[in-house]
Amino acid sequence: MGKRDRCLCGFGIWLSMLLNRHGHRILRVKGILDLAGEARPVAVHGVQHLVHPPTHMAAWPEGPRTSRLVFIVDGIEEARIRASFEVFAGLG
């Protein structure tokens, strides 16, 4: 994700579409997002086809203030996930 990412809605749509298509191979996803218009980080997480409601954290953890995502997958390449996000992000 880029510096000061767009909005939670757009990210949520992309993540939901990704999990709908590849949820059986995406065992877990979690991360924190630096979203435009938000002063605090937003935590996101999902398990296979289920996306949990986002949580607005109290403050940024130590370290750089950037979006970070972690995927635990079975048989899907990082490049495929990254390319999917880049295509979706380029639509806005």
Number of structural domains (the chain) is: 1
The answer as to whether 34 is a domain residue is: yes
The answer as to whether 3 is a domain residue is: no
The answer as to whether 2 is a domain residue is: no
Q: Confidence band (pLDDT; 50, 70, 90) for 85?
A: confident
Whether the per-residue pLDDT at 5 is higher than 60: the answer is: no
The CA distance from 51 to 21, in Å, is 13
Q: Confidence band (pLDDT; 50, 70, 90) for 86?
A: confident
Give the structural domain span for 58: 8-90
pLDDT, residue 3, reads 46
pLDDT, residue 91, reads 65
Write out pLDDT tens, residues 26-58.
999 999 999 888 889 999 998 888 889 999 999
Asked if residues 41 and 34 have their Cβ atoms less than 8 Å apart, the reply is: yes
Return the amino acid letter for 51: V
- The CATH number covering residue 20 comes to 3.30.1220.10
> CA angle at residue 31 from 39 to 82, to 5 degrees?
110
